[in-house]
Amino acid sequence: MKTHFNFLFNKESSLFVVLVTLLLLGGFFAISYGSWQIEVNHVFQIVLMKLGLYSGVVDKIETTIVWDGRMPRFIVAFLVGSSLAAAGCIMQGIFKNPMASPGVIGISSGAALGAVIAIYLGLAAKSLFVLPLFAIIFSLLTLIMVFSIATSRGHTSISTLLLAGIALNLIFGALTSFVITLSTREFDVGRVIVTWLMGDLNNRSWEHVHIVLPTTAIALIGTLFFMKDLNILMIDDETAANLGVNIKLARNSLLFLSSLITGGAIAVSGVIGFVGLIAPHIMRGLIGPDNRKLIPFAGLLGAVFVIYADLFVRLIFKVDLKIGILTSLMGGPFFLYLLVKYRKRFEYM
């Protein structure tokens, strides 16, 4: 038993070191490299200067590029990746299904529709905080709709949940396309909407960090209070009730937090799909289903996934490929793999 415990401890510690190393390496490339080449020692001097640890002279243009351009983009990528992965963990735990995620059950599409409406009506141009507000509100409304459709007499059907998510994805996709059609009369508005729907981290500023950081922090801190309940809910509702879990409170709170964190992430990055599906599934296979470990580890992997996807589209791919397109190209086949792997769980007529 002791040997087994030491093995798990070493395995988790090694995995944590690998993920943090990848994050630091990704951060180094994200901040140091781009169309404007900046010497590595200059990058470190600028960062240290902004942290109050260096008092030397630094180039003002390079400081603007590093601190006001590349640094917030990296932080947004980190927060968006970790947020979407954490939301995926929560939903997969609640619904006891490895294919549940914000994108699959329609929450991402709902948030996207809310954001597109805010852009089309010109409200997003008046305040940077209007778009995330619309995205979060619509993500919550979508969650309520999906859950209401899939729940009957206190029992939630997983198959119905996924089907309802597919249906709402189609409906919201059609409504989003309708808004895009209306926006074609104004080229600039239509271009902003289409670019945003593809998932994009270009021109992200500290204001975007200030939007996604509170939603991420609030949701993750709130989730900490329900970690034990989430683990028990993964067994079944009857066992959870017998163990004293307030099922309705725990489930509704976790669903609210997952919608909040999803809406906040999508508001600053656009639609970046499948991160909440891939990262939790991979980490579950490596460290097990305990959400006390799964959520933080999956969050780190989600951050790594988004950061390196952004590096790929920014530094390697010469065409203006959007990050959401890349993640969908990777996540789509992965979702098909999960469908094949878990198809025996579904009931057929």
What is the residue-level pLDDT of the chain in tens, covering all 349 positions? Answer: 555 555 445 778 889 999 999 999 999 998 888 778 888 888 888 888 888 888 878 888 888 988 988 999 999 999 999 999 999 899 888 877 777 777 777 888 888 899 889 888 888 778 778 888 888 889 888 888 887 887 777 666 767 777 888 888 889 989 988 888 887 777 677 777 887 788 888 888 898 899 899 999 999 999 999 998 888 888 877 788 888 888 888 888 888 898 889 888 988 888 887 888 888 888 888 888 889 999 999 999 999 999 998 888 887 776 666 787 777 777 777 767 766 766 555 443 3
Domain residues for 151?
70-345
Q: Is residue 6 part of a domain?
A: no
Please list the residues that pair with 152 across neighbouring strands: 155
- SS3 helix, strand, coil % of the chain, rounded to 5? 75, 0, 20
User: What is the distance between the alpha carbons of residues 265 and 262, in angstroms, rounded to a whole number?
Assistant: 5
Query: Tokens 């067994």 map to which residue?
Result: 235
Amino acid 132 reads P
Q: Is residue 229 part of a domain?
A: yes
- Note the pLDDT of residue 278: 85
Q: Is residue 49 part of a domain?
A: no
- Note the pLDDT of residue 185: 74
pTM: 0.85
Q: Is residue 303 part of a domain?
A: yes
Q: Is residue 198 part of a domain?
A: yes
Q: Is residue 19 part of a domain?
A: no
Closest CA to 266 of 71, 89, 134, 99: 134
Give the HSE-up count for residue 272: Cα atoms under 13 Å, Cβ half-sphere.
36
- Note the pLDDT of residue 342: 62
Question: Which CATH number fits the domain that encloses residue 206?
Answer: 1.10.3470.10
Query: Tokens 């801190």 map to which residue?
Result: 221
Q: Is residue 262 part of a domain?
A: yes
- Note the pLDDT of residue 349: 36
At 155, give phi and psi (nearest 5°).
Answer: -115, 130
Closest CA to 331 of 277, 284, 285, 282: 277
- Note the pLDDT of residue 79: 95
- Note the pLDDT of residue 58: 84
Would you say 79 and 40 are in contact if contact means Cβ atoms under 8 Å apart? no
Instruction: Report how many domains make up the chain.
Output: 1
Q: Is residue 209 part of a domain?
A: yes
Q: Who's near 113: CB < 8 A, 6+ residues apart?
A: 138, 172, 175, 176, 179
